[in-house]
Amino acid sequence: MKEVIRINQCIDDIEDELITIRRDIHKYAEWGWTEFRTCSKISEYLGKLGFNIRVGREIFNRQTMLGLPNEETLKEQEERAISQGVLKRYVEKMSGGYTGVLATLDTGRAGPTLAFRFDIDANEGIEADSLEHRPFKEGFASINKGAMHCCGHDGHTAIGLGVSKILKNLENELCGKIKIIFQPAEEGVRGAYSMVNAGLLDDVDYLLSGHIGLSTEKVGQIVCNTSGFLATSKIDVEFKGRSTHAGATPEKGKNALLGAATAALNLHTVCQHGDGSSRINVGVLKAGTGRNVVPDRAEMKLEIRGENDQINSYVEKRVKEIIKGAAIMYDLRYNITLAGQAINGNSDVELAKIIENIAKEIPEVTEIIKQDKLTGSEDITHMMKRVQENGGKAAYMMFGTKRAADHHNNYFDFDERVLKIAVKTYVSAALYINGREDRT
């Protein structure tokens, strides 16, 4: 009991630092594969703590990096990060979109390998500039146009760094190895798959991750076992036709807009399967240059989800058939790109039970929810599957917090008291799993 009190007090002492980190990351929001400043700050912080850190290319498999921005965009974001005070030597390691950090604490003593994963990317969007929005009112709203932390990953980054600091201070009380993964591009489910294929999870016995908010709405709630992750595929489509004068020579045109619109309307008819639920959404449709020009190009961005991998694959197959059919109708060429993907998954009951027992010792935890469904998608499932296939255990938690608006809303904000609760949970888990038996 004295040990628990001591560690909780240590975490209480860094609460202001956690909030400062979160607000700094929030102010300089960066979306997936462009988190150059974010990763540089993470690397600098961990380096000062004395962690063994790996940054950039060496922790990714290039062939499975999905949904990368184009080279021009990546270069622009790199230059912006440098202009915002980041050391160039860090950015150079990440050039080309390799924005991620792996920190390892190797105690040199026999024991299991435990991994924590924290996602770090912002959303694409414009943050509210109203005095009713606390980040704007208090001066930490995003200054990076088109990027906003409206899902809580700024909080996850702060939690990950807080966990790192406390565990480094407790190193003599630990055994085995602890790997702390700061993952880019979770939005659009793009980043985890590449890290898995680079072998980062191959030696892991236990994996823990989590999210603030979602189905939990009060500070002090904790979900120990998250299940119901939906499999998903994110698909980009380009239709290519032929432009011409809409009045003088319409018969020479090949209308990409009509092909895309036909596809969009028909795609929403395939979301049915007798073995479980599925979803489809065409979220972006762009085409045309002028009212008197037959549009020769159209761009579509869509996503599908399935209760399991098989349903998702079925819907994806039908989606591709409908796109092909629409292209044939209007004599168009087309190109389909997989921009992101995640599989379905579930937490391991045994590991979730450990979290449940730990939560009972955290003073700020007021409600323990043994199990709940995510009813969404998360690419942590790639990491969970790799660990579970190798005989390990994985669990995903949710930490309650009051939200100013829904996730992915431009007024999103959260109660920062959740930060230290999450840190206490992760640190307690590390001590339970990797604590030395002879520690006092």
Q: Convert the pLDDT of each residue in 270-306 to its tens digit.
A: 888 888 999 999 999 999 999 999 999 999 999 999 9
Domains in the chain: ranges and CATH: 1-228+344-434 (3.40.630.10), 231-342 (3.30.70.360)
Beta bridge partners of 220: none
Beta bridge partners of 279: 305
Query: Model confidence over 297-311: pLDDT tens digits?
Result: 999 999 999 999 999
Residues 6+ away with beta carbon under 8 Å from 243: 253, 289, 293, 294, 295, 296
Q: Quick check: 111 and 434 in contact, CB under 8 A?
A: yes
Confidence of residue 369 (pLDDT cuts 50, 70, 90): very high
Mean per-residue pLDDT over the chain, rounded: 96
> Tell me, what's the pLDDT at 439?
59
Query: Model confidence over 191-201: pLDDT tens digits?
Result: 999 999 999 99
Statement: residue 403 has pLDDT above 90 = yes
Distance, CA of 332 to CA of 416 (rounded, Å) = 51
Q: Quick check: 122 and 142 in contact, CB under 8 A?
A: yes
Annotated binding site: 151, 153, 187, 211, 408
Letter for the amino acid at 2? K
Sign of CA dihedral 156, 157, 159, 163: positive
Distance, CA of 421 to CA of 155 (rounded, Å) = 12
Could you tell me the CA-to-CA distances from 411 to 188, 306, 408 in Å, in that order? 20, 29, 8
The pTM assigned to this predicted structure is 0.95
Annotated binding site for Mn(2+): 151, 153, 187, 211, 408
Letter for the amino acid at 318? R
Statement: residue 1 has pLDDT above 70 = no
Statement: residue 440 has pLDDT above 80 = no
> Tell me, what's the pLDDT at 88?
85
Could you tell me the CA-to-CA distances from 269 to 280, 322, 351 in Å, in that order? 9, 10, 40
Residues 6+ away with beta carbon under 8 Å from 138: none
Burial 50-77, CB ≥16 within 10 A → b, else e:
ebebbbbeebbeeebbbbbbeeeebeeb
